[in-house]
Amino acid sequence: MIALGNARLGLVLLVALTLLRAGVTQVDKNAEEKKDQEPVYDLVAGITPPRLLKHVNPQYPPDWKGVRVEGNVGIGIVVTSQGIPKEPKVIKSLEKDLDQFAVDAVRQWRFAAARKDGKPVAVRVTIEIEFHSM
């Protein structure tokens, strides 16, 4: 009878350990996701804005004969503390294809990160890409 009780106890402990390990794994995955997320600031007093290091112009397909539309495409992005643009969203549209060309170009841009208290931080910024007739 005691052996059976110990077997049951062993099985309960094994199940508990298995569940605990699964929980720890889930916590570890959540910790990894949170590590990739960083606080994002708006540009306010006390935060030095990011500085553009690498600028890429929008590229047009070879079959385009030139731009016939003039105006600006507004793109909201988060510039990470590593100077990488992420989460681009068109906030002022001009024309569907031109909007996409602008987003594709901005994804390739690189920045010196914004700074708060001397440390690099992620910030939200809006970029305007101007298109002229060609």
Q: Where are the domains of the chain?
A: 1-37, 40-131
Q: Show Cβ contacts of residue 92 under 8 Å, excluding neighbours closer than 6 positions.
A: 72, 73, 74, 128
Q: Does the pLDDT at position 24 exceed 90? A: no
- Contact (CB, 8 A) for 105 and 86: no
The CATH number of 40-131 is: 3.30.2420.10
**3 state DSSP class of 68:** coil
pLDDT of residue 128: 95
Q: What is the pTM of this model?
A: 0.69
Handedness of CA 72, 57, 79, 77 (dihedral sign): positive
Alpha-carbon distance 103 to 85, whole Å? 10
Q: Mind listing the pLDDT tens digit for each residue in 35-91?
A: 468 999 999 999 999 999 999 998 877 777 666 778 999 999 999 999 999 999 999
Output DSSP code: residue 29.
Answer: H
* DSSP element (H, E) containing 30: helix 2-36
